[in-house]
Structure 1
């Protein structure tokens, strides 16, 4: 039987699907932007970057759903642990969640302020404007990419800590996210 909700022993199917689905989409985004930085404009880069807005919008929706789901399961989720390490894990996860919300938030702010319509999946979210809202566009330009790289660094730290928990401490942390008993 599928365990949909989180328990103190492991994350449920919905938390795992949101986590791993978002991980795949974030990887897509970072690979595309990394290639853009390294290679400039090429057909390969265009293949990745051409979907950046739509994938980013999808991530914005998923982070909202993930945040709501996490709050609904807050008392049932596996604990971060005690002491300084537990606090560090809690703070790291909070920073990840905040940046996963703020980074697309700045992209949406920029899209709202631009002259052209914003219509991921062909669904118009923001209509075209007669004139740009310069403060919104500038804030989006200034913070979206920079904070995305900070998010990328936090994600790498998250992955490193999974490796430490799995390989060094062998405490079952990864097993809980994979849905197995820790």
Structure 2
């Protein structure tokens, strides 16, 4: 069994510690977001739904901040990262990143347009106002639909990781994100 290797920067064989922490941290946050959405949908008016749904907007804001940090970190490591396996993998990652940016932006747009205050962790980011801005709240339904599309993409991402891990001719892409040395 290989052990995780500590390195700050990415290289052509594996992702560095910062990339790995951002990846797995975002994975946990996304799981939380989907758990809160499922609780809101399936467990309406329960203590579980109130707790999880009560964190959805704040955790979503944290997620978009991490997406931006991860994108900047990726640009910093450009040319030093493990290469994509193929064009489909590259396109899949672009769609994942795109959805992780667009979904919270739609949520923020809808929040502002609703006229309700947005004060995550007690910080007033959007003051409330009287009324509603219809064109800002109209695309709000896309927030949900694209969220479920993101979940489907994530499931596909995980499935393909294990497909590549199982095929002896393929590169073990999970090892790259765990910091392990590649199999010989």
- Give the 3-state SS of the residue equivalent to 1:11 in structure 2: coil
2:148 aligns to what? Answer: 149
1:87 pairs with 2:91: no
CA offsets per residue over residues 143-162 of structure 1, 9 Å max, x none? Answer: 11110000000000001011
Question: Residue 52 of structure 1 is aligned with which of 53, 56, 70?
Answer: 56
> What TM-score, normalized to structure 2?
0.91
Aligned mates of 1:32, 1:124 — CA distance in 2: 23
1:137 pairs with 2:137: yes
1:113 aligns to what? Answer: 113
Cα pair 1:22 1:59 within 8 Å, conserved: yes
Query: Which segment drifts farther, 68-77 or 31-40?
Result: 31-40
Aligned mates of 1:130, 1:50 — CA distance in 2: 23
Compare the two structures and name the one with the higher helix fraction.
Answer: 1
Question: Residue 20 of structure 2 is aligned with which of 16, 23, 31?
Answer: 16
CA offsets per residue over residues 67-113 of structure 1, 9 Å max, x none? Answer: 111111121110012xxxx0000000000000000000100111121
Give the number of equivalent residue pairs.
177
1:98 aligns to what? Answer: 98
Larger RCO of the pair (alpha carbons < 8 Å, separation 6+)? 2
- Give the 3-state SS of the residue equivalent to 1:50 in structure 2: helix
Aligned mates of 2:63, 2:80 — CA distance in 1: 24
Query: Which segment drifts farther, 124-133 or 34-43?
Result: 34-43
Q: CA deviation at 1:15?
A: 0.6
Aligned-residue CA RMSD (Å):
1.4
1:74 aligns to what? Answer: 78
Query: Which segment drifts farther, 119-128 or 150-159?
Result: 119-128
Cα pair 2:6 2:179 within 8 Å, conserved: no
Aligned mates of 1:53, 1:77 — CA distance in 2: 32
Aligned mates of 1:159, 1:172 — CA distance in 2: 13
Aligned mates of 2:98, 2:147 — CA distance in 1: 11
Cα pair 1:172 1:181 within 8 Å, conserved: no
Question: Residue 47 of structure 2 is aligned with which of 29, 43, 54?
Answer: 43
1:2 pairs with 2:6: yes
Q: CA deviation at 1:57?
A: 0.5
